[in-house]
Amino acid sequence: MSDKLKVAIAGLAHCHAISFYNAFKNYPEEAEFLGVTDIPDPKGAEAESLENRLRKNLPVKGELPHIFPSLDALLSEKPDLVCICTDIMDHAPIALECLKRGINAIIEKPMALRIQDGIQMLMAARQSEASLFVNWPIAWFPTFNLAKQMVDAGKIGRTLRVVYRSPSTKGPYCNEAGFDPQKLGDVWWYRQERGGGSLADYSGYSFTLATWILGKMAKTVYGLRKNFLMPITDVEDYSDFIIDFGDAVAQAEGSWSTFSSGEIPTGPVIYGSEGTIVCDRFSNEVKVYKTFKPYTKCFPPEEIVVPPPMPELNVARNLMDCLRHGKPVHEMLTLDFNLKQLAAMDAGVRSCTSGSAEAVINPFL
């Protein structure tokens, strides 16, 4: 490995591509950005043209990064790390190609929607000298990390329930000035066969937080999905799940049809046998409630904790320290953790189709 970590982006379909670009650009002495390659949408819609992808998902200031004509051309430059930002159905084939060539890769969340894809990636990673990671933006939230530390320390006794709700949103293109709503059905976010929908976008965070906070794999999942406001697409704009972990449960909600959150925190809200911890993705406070007053109006928390600055909570810093110095990555990035998360989400997807609770498939057997 050279003095600098050579980083590239494969795919411009995901709006979080800019997060990878900006994160590594903050370390010019340690990271070198090689460029990007587009992975064209098979449908070839104008709404997903290269120009649109660059404008929306990689709006860098000044000179654009180098654009490779193909994935093969990019991988031939032997990057140390490829950030995969395609639509969800392209995650597995690109990750497999990177691992086959001994190139480290990180997938922008979620890893996949089908457990079979996850198992394929796990097998390939075990046979490769390279590593595969999955990025969850919530891994870098100081409040969420502090809440997890409190739970692990027994702050609220035995954890019984974890609840997470998506914020008020009407989908990825809801604020896009000048965008023709009739083209939504052509964009991958709004096409089920490419992994689109609010389930993967926001319920995925809930599955991740519940699996991480409870520290175990789910057993069964019951879910439903609805299309309330998007009749021209075949994806859900609302999904909700009950996840059974055996001795604990979780609720996972993902919505593109929430006009306002109504002052209800996104969570995670963590209910324990001896208290409750409340977080909100838009707040820098962790609230702890330890007084039991049944059938009374809500009262102030006993503790409000603001976590200190955590500069190490940074995807670029975390990965550079791992790949160059052998330090562990955040648990949410690890392959084993993401197989557990995916196993639960896969059961949820199957439940939405069957209408029944579905057993979680153990990917490690």
- Reduce the DSSP state of residue 124 to 3 states and report it: helix
Q: What is the pTM of this model?
A: 0.95
Number of domains, the chain: 2
The pLDDT tens digits for 219-258 are 999 999 999 998 888 999 999 999 999 999 999 999 999 9
Q: What integer pLDDT is reported at residue 47 of this predicted model?
A: 57
- Verify that 203 and 100 share a domain, yes or no: no
Q: Using 50, 70 and 90 to split pLDDT, how confident is the model at 291?
A: very high
Q: Report the share of the chain in percent with pLDDT over 70.
A: 95
Residue 201 lies in a domain: yes
Taking a C-beta distance cutoff of 8 angstroms, is the pair 280, 265 a contact? yes
Q: What integer pLDDT is reported at residue 140 of this predicted model?
A: 97
Q: What's the CA angle centered on 190, arms 187 and 196, to 5 degrees?
A: 110
- Verify that 211 and 306 share a domain, yes or no: yes
- Verify that 316 and 259 share a domain, yes or no: no
Taking a C-beta distance cutoff of 8 angstroms, is the pair 14, 57 a contact? yes
Residue 161 lies in a domain: yes
- Verify that 201 and 295 share a domain, yes or no: yes
Residue 198 lies in a domain: yes
- Mean pLDDT lowest among 69-83, 300-314, 317-331, 339-353: 300-314
Residue 338 lies in a domain: no
Entry field: residues in the chain: 365
Residue 333 lies in a domain: no
Mean pLDDT along residues 275-304:
92
Host domain of residue 119: 5-137+312-325
- Verify that 178 and 273 share a domain, yes or no: yes
Mean pLDDT along residues 151-177:
89
- Verify that 152 and 300 share a domain, yes or no: yes
Residue 203 lies in a domain: yes
- Mean pLDDT lowest among 95-109, 161-175, 180-194, 350-364: 180-194
Residue 354 lies in a domain: yes
Residue 335 lies in a domain: no
Q: Report the share of the chain in percent with pLDDT over 90.
A: 78
- Verify that 288 and 348 share a domain, yes or no: yes
Q: What integer pLDDT is reported at residue 246 of this predicted model?
A: 98
How crowded is residue 18: how many other Cβ atoms within 10 Å of its Cβ? 17
- Residue 156 pLDDT > 70: yes
CA dist 167 and 184 (Å) reads 21
- Reduce the DSSP state of residue 139 to 3 states and report it: helix
Q: In what order do the strands lie in the sheet with 67-68?
A: 67-68, 31-37, 5-10, 81-84, 104-108, 132-135
| Cβ-count burial 321-331 (b if 16+ within 10 Å, e if not) | bbbeeeeebbe
Instruction: Give the CATH number, domain containing residue 228.
Output: 3.30.360.10
9 backbone dihedrals φ, ψ, rounded to 5°: -115, 130
- Verify that 100 and 186 share a domain, yes or no: no
- Residue 178 pLDDT > 60: no
- Verify that 119 and 214 share a domain, yes or no: no
- Verify that 12 and 118 share a domain, yes or no: yes
- Verify that 317 and 206 share a domain, yes or no: no
**With 0-12 CB in 10 A as exposed, 13-18 as middle and 19+ as buried, what is 61?**
exposed
Cβ neighbours of residue 92 under 8 Å, at least 6 residues apart? 112, 117, 118, 120, 121
Instruction: Give the CATH number, domain containing residue 89.
Output: 3.40.50.720
- Verify that 210 and 347 share a domain, yes or no: yes
Taking a C-beta distance cutoff of 8 angstroms, is the pair 361, 115 a contact? yes
